[in-house]
Chains A and B, each alone.
Chain A
Amino acid sequence: MAEATNAIAEQFDSSEQQHESAWLGLWAFLATEVLFFGGVFLGYIVYRHVYYESFVLASRTTNLVYGTVNTAVLLTSSLTMALAVHAAQVGKNKNLVRFLILTILLAITFMGVKGVEYYEHYKDHQIPGPSFVLKGAPEGELFYYFYFTMTGLHALHVVIGIGLLSVMALLAARRRFNPAYYTPVELSGLYWHFVDIVWIFLYPLIYLISRHS
């Protein structure tokens, strides 16, 4: 089985070329993801400009503590992911499995905090719909539409990441990776770091920029 995963597909000249193709393919995918999230980000920036007072007021009703904790959790999960790829590079299979599981646990922590945060929005009538209440901010509902779309799409990516990393942990436990072949781990890592970067920008856009302005 190990030979099969190391094999070079017939369209490639060498394993380096095969690796570079997979690597660039994932970067091309990430470029499309940048524009996918970018569209929503741009919409948010435009409407924050058009309905400035409402967006600033509504933005201040978000919970800065949850946002900050979740940023720290995701940044740490990026570290454990980078260490997992390192373990794969040097062939420490046990460490690879451990770091992948640690990354998954941090991702689940992120989702847990997000869940508590969503529940509090629900209790505070901040979910857009007939029972939405936000005094003094006529377009506050629009802010929360953007809030739930942006964080929801991001959460969807986190869930996909958890699935992806679980498969990697399973494959690693079955010793499918070695220093000569670990491309799937490396590419899952790229995806995971990208999810982290989306949050790096969501955090200031939602929680920070309107606290004092």
Chain B
Amino acid sequence: MSAKIISPKTYVLVWLALMILLFLTWGASEINFGVFSPVIAIVIAVIKMLLVVLIFMHVRYSSRLTWVFAAAGFLWLMIMITLTMGDYLTRGTVRPQNKSIPEWKVDTESQSR
């Protein structure tokens, strides 16, 4: 088999990085960053995922076809989440044609949380 052999030292370094990121994301959750709190948590999770996928799962050293396979699931997941949330996050922001602006404002105010 022609798979590349990566030194255990690299693996231990990646693990150290993962633990530091875990500590960071845990610490960040104790601080109030407002709307950025979830953003920070998800960005750190994505970095952790990339470290695991690229090094532990050897994708960095694998064929281009492996890159396509690995990216496919993630890409389709992103499409699913983006389109669905594109709907939910914009509900009530477009005025229906059969309603005047005052009518529509009353409607959206009664619906908003």
Contacts and interface: CB of A to CB of B under 8 A. Distances in A.
Interface of A: 15-16, 19-20, 23-24, 27-28, 30-35, 38-39, 41-42, 45-46, 49-50, 52-53, 64, 68, 71-72, 75-76, 78-79, 81-83, 86, 89-90, 179-183, 186, 189-190, 193-194, 196-197, 200-201, 203-204, 207-209, 211-213
Contacts of B12: 79
Dominant secondary structure of chain A at its interface with chain B:
helix
B11 A68 contact: no
Contacts of B45: 200-201, 203-204
B81 A209 contact: no
22 contacts: A23-B66, A27-B66, A31-B72, A31-B76, A52-B113, A72-B19, A75-B18, A76-B15, A79-B56, A89-B3, A182-B1, A183-B1, A193-B56, A194-B57, A204-B44, A204-B45, A209-B29, A209-B38, A209-B42, A211-B29, A212-B29, A212-B32
Given A42-B81, A89-B5, A79 B30 contact: no
B49 to A, nearest CB: 5
B69 A27 contact: yes
A46 B25 contact: no
Given A23-B66, A208-B25, A212-B32, A201 B73 contact: no
Contacts of A81: 56
Given A79-B12, A203-B45, A68 B22 contact: yes
Given A35-B80, A213-B38, A90 B18 contact: no
A50 B84 CA distance: 13
B49 A200 contact: yes
Contact of B26 (A23, A27, A35, A68): A68
Interface string B65-94: 110011011101100110011001100000
